[in-house]
Structure 1
């Protein structure tokens, strides 16, 4: 057993039981077998992340204020939208609160998960994308007029990470089918086999698209993190079932050895997200910034790929898809009409679409709660794919 693994409860319990075998302590330590159950460790990860978030939240917020890591500028949406009743109210609120989520998520996962390749790849994507988001947030704060990191730089990093993960999975015999076999929701068999290039493209689109979609959704107090919680709960169930050979066989879904440990990560996201939502609900005391949104979106994307269900994320994350599509359609339609008629026209009053509803005089809390409801409905449809096949 590696020395570093002693810090993880799973390996520590194994170590203690092994040392106690044949001694008077053996019966007393038999309860440590609980750490072999993914359900127990997932619950532990969720509670640990939640408590850490709640306890560290005020300290992190105070620390961000001391460092002047606040949104000391009016964001583009607020400036362009001229929303009645809240113009300028978000100025000064600490951003980069995603650090709280990332630290508690990683710490909780390292304590409760059993180390494997799937866990490593997920945490790698979280750290890389959190670093990218931190750079973007810091650039916005230090150079408010710059609007953050250049969009093409962010995209290049995301594509490079997704390409690395896709090629790594493809080249590894144990995981190559995650790339070469293409699965779709509501169908029990791969629709394509030996489709390496197409599978690689789907993998990249899933990770990059999910990361950016969550980022675009992060525009109202509690919106992005609340929807992330709902989608994470869907994947908490999916990862557990995909990692359990008997359950996967019964439901006729792909069985991925080791995927059960991703349940611990999903549980940690839920716990960390709930703790963050405590401080991010309206009126927000802290924003997650790109530090959190890029990382959480990327995590959902990589988890969907690792359980061989990338397209299920489109259903479960329907709100994220709607937000991203609204921006793509708005931008494309504006450019097309400008080229054709000389003046750009808009499909929506404002994009992303949550701002469209604000322009229609929905209050911020109305938009958030109604999007939560839509997200729950999408989650139900995604989970129904387990039985309707």
Structure 2
């Protein structure tokens, strides 16, 4: 809203300084400061409200050190992240940008699913929460919406092999040749020289016009990624500060990808796909990072509030949509390696237990407990040490992901 106000003042009254709101970097800086202020200042009020409403966490008997002390800690703290993210976005972002619209829809959609799950656990006294099938239906529904919009919307385009000649003396850029925006289901393959993959090419065996059926591949891929990443974030949210911290690291890396992919000069210099209008997502990312860091103020050990599924499902959904929108979804296994490992630890544990029970008559385990962070808790590591080490791994993965811009 402020963007449109200052744009109006600049165009109609030439108000000094109003034009600065045209710069994504300026609005992103404001967004991160505003979201950080909202999450830290008003976060305490939200926590007190949750305490007053007796929105406390019910702790399962897992035999983990310090677990019983967490009982009664307010949950649904994901509301802090959602509110602190959306307010700066509504104030500072271009609300007619299709990418921003999709991110807002994702935040509200996944936040609602998570809220319903937390509500059932807390107020209905059902520890299982929302049945898994309904969670999956919600995730698939969002994936269907996001995939369809990205595939059909005329504002979602790319420019491949864009060449820009920049004159540093005059600070002007000449685009060579004349740019052509096109609809495409192309994405980026990390570590490869000619690193573009078009999902439509999978159907090339169909003959002429196979491009018209690219949605048969693209939309299911989007659905799978959103479902997998949101569940990965949900599983990672098990000890104080783990999900929020690792997510903030991944989102910062995605912010770098978004900024360079949405900037015609940087994308040309780095020889990456230029995605028109995608740079506006940087404002959303800045706001999201500020909200996550502000939430960590209260969620770091010992946590004063838990994000619950309200936060974890939302975080995963946003990260997935960001990666897909900026054509970096194939980088998710590296960038979100923590989520991937947490997911796999559960899948391996359950699969091996069922296999050994069928073969030997008794179930055996690979890990002392899954997800993986609980395995290290069982081994006697303090949860703050586990979180810090997971953050370090997350930083290394983020750096390696960013390096893929040039390492091919």
**TM norm structure 1:** 0.92
Q: Residue 191 of structure 1 corresponds to which residue in structure 2?
A: 197
Q: Which residue of 1 aligns with 2:124?
A: 143
Q: What is residue 109 of structure 2 aligned with on the other side?
A: 128
Aligned ranges 1:3-152 → 2 under 5 Å: 8-20=1-13, 26=14, 29-71=15-57, 73-75=58-60, 79-80=61-62, 82-84=63-65, 86-115=66-95, 116-152=97-133
Structure 2 distance, partners of 1:386, 1:347, is: 36
User: Which residue of 152, 164, 167 maps to 1:171?
Assistant: 152
Contact (CA 8 Å) 1:181, 1:199: kept in 2 or not? no
1:345 equivalent to 2:331? Answer: no
Measured after TM superposition, the shift of residue 30 of structure 1 is 2.6
Is residue 170–residue 176 contact of structure 1 (8 Å, CA) maintained in 2? no
**How many angstroms does 1:174 deviate by?**
4.1
In 2, the alpha carbon distance for the partners of 1:280 and 1:174 equals: 38
Q: Which residue of 2 aligns with 1:214?
A: 233
Separation in 1, partners of 2:354, 2:228:
22
Q: How does 1:282-321 map to 2 (within 5 A)?
A: 282-321=301-340
CA contact (8 A) 2:55 2:76 kept: yes
Query: How far off is 1:345 after superposition?
Result: 1.3
Structure 1: stretches of 5+ with no match in the other structure: 1-7, 21-25
| Corresponding residue number in structure 2 for 1:3 | none
Summarize the Cα distance change of 1:161–1:220 in structure 2 as closer, same or farther, 3 Å threshold: same
Deviation at residue 193 of structure 1 after TM alignment: 4.8
Displacement of 1:173 in angstroms is: 4.0
Taking structure 2 as the reference length, what is the TM-score of the superposition? 0.87
Contact 2:82 2:311 in 1 (8 A): yes
1:2-24 Cα offsets, whole Å, 9 max, x none, are xxxxxx1211111112221xxxx
User: Displacement of 1:248 after TM fit?
Assistant: 1.0
- What is the match of residue 172 of structure 2? none
In the TM superposition, what is the alpha-carbon distance from 1:160 to its structure 2 partner? 1.1
Q: Hey, what's the Cα distance between the residues in 2 that align with 1:87 and 1:17?
A: 56
The 3-state SS of whatever aligns with 1:89 is helix
- Name the counterpart of 1:255: 274
Distance in structure 1 (CA, Å) of the matches to 2:67 and 2:266: 51
Q: What is the SS of the residue equivalent to 2:198?
A: coil
Give how far 1:179 is off: 6.7
Cα distance, 1:33 vs structure 2: 1.4
Could you give the per-residue CA deviations for residues 223-253 of structure 1, whole angstroms, max 9, x where no partner exists? 0000011011101111101110111121122
Q: What's the RMSD between the two structures over aligned residues?
A: 1.5
Give the drift of 1:313. Answer: 2.1
Residue 343 of structure 1 aligns to a residue in which SS?
coil
Residue aligning to 2:295? 276
Which whole-Å deviations, capped at 9, do the CAs of 1:247-273 have from their partners, x for residues lacking one? 112112221111111111111111111
CA distance in 2, matches of 1:291, 1:36: 33
Residue deviations 1:109-132, cap 9 Å, x none? Answer: 111111200100111011000000
Structure 2 unpaired stretches of 5+:
159-182, 202-213
Alpha-carbon separation, structure 2, partners of 1:175 and 1:193: 16
Q: Is the 8 A contact 1:169 1:179 kept in 2?
A: no
